[in-house]
Structure 1
């Protein structure tokens, strides 16, 4: 039962992506940073113990990408928030 989420997430990496939206109140375009999952084709042609090792490695890669990309997204979101506040105040 616990293997299913690992298999589903095991072939993914998470990358920060910048999106934009218009803020009519301040008349500016705000930027936001979000995490987007990207599927990695890692399980093609694996067998027996090779699949188990690949599954553990894929889980470690997924966890690492979430931590690193999540940190980048949090810092980027803070910078974008400060930028939007400054731009809004200047109008």
Structure 2
């Protein structure tokens, strides 16, 4: 089964309503936190020095919160303006 976002333009699936649902979903938040923490482990960055990281497909920035908490700086890009505008 294909993902719905593969069958039409992103505006249909990443509008303000869907972006708000995604950003406030506790399961999504937990999964994003775990994946981001694991990605940092795999990168094996030096603990004492902050790094500048690029988050491609950052969505509403859930992963960026983990990066910031770990002391890193990050730049996020996403195809969805609605996701980028989430608080």
TM-score in terms of structure 1 length? 0.25
Q: Which has the larger Rg?
A: 1
More strand by share: 1
Which of structures 1 and 2 has the larger relative contact order (alpha carbons within 8 angstroms, sep 6+)?
Answer: 1
